[in-house]
Amino acid sequence: MEPNAKVTKEDQRFINEFSRIHQKNKVIDDELRVFNEKQANYKDALNACDELFGENTKILIGETFIELPEEAARERIEKLKEEATEGEKVLKKKHEVNKKRLDELKVILYSKFGKSINLDE
């Protein structure tokens, strides 16, 4: 509220916590984008498996292409897709928890510092 409000040790702790959590959420956002790209790639790979009609295919595992029968390739891709989906769920939950705490900190900090602090991007 007051433009020249003194920053206490507790205020600084809240500001630092806000900053740390905000940075964590930015990293989580980047990781979620990677998961979305992976999901799209897995979907494309499964569509490509539909065109194989029982033939062998090569899939990339790590840095190596391995030749597998269509069904084995499809199972491997499905497993990778499920793992990515689970990882994405965990990240979304962390992001949600962090967002709630960020909202709490915003209320605390804006109530004391008003417009003299900027907590938005």
- What are the tens digits of pLDDT across the range 46-80? 888 777 667 777 777 778 888 888 888 888 889 99
11-41 burial, b for 16+ CB within 10 Å, e for fewer? Answer: beebbeebeebeeebeebeeeeeebeebeee
For position 44, what pLDDT does the model report?
86
Within the chain, residue ranges assigned H as helices are 9-50, 70-113
C-alpha distance from residue 44 to each of 40, 41, 50 (Å): 6, 5, 10
Yes or no: is domain 9-112 CATH 1.10.8.60? Answer: no
**What does pLDDT average to over the chain?**
88
Q: Are 3 and 116 in contact (CB under 8 A)?
A: yes
The residue among 87, 116, 120, 91 whose CA lies nearest residue 106 is: 120
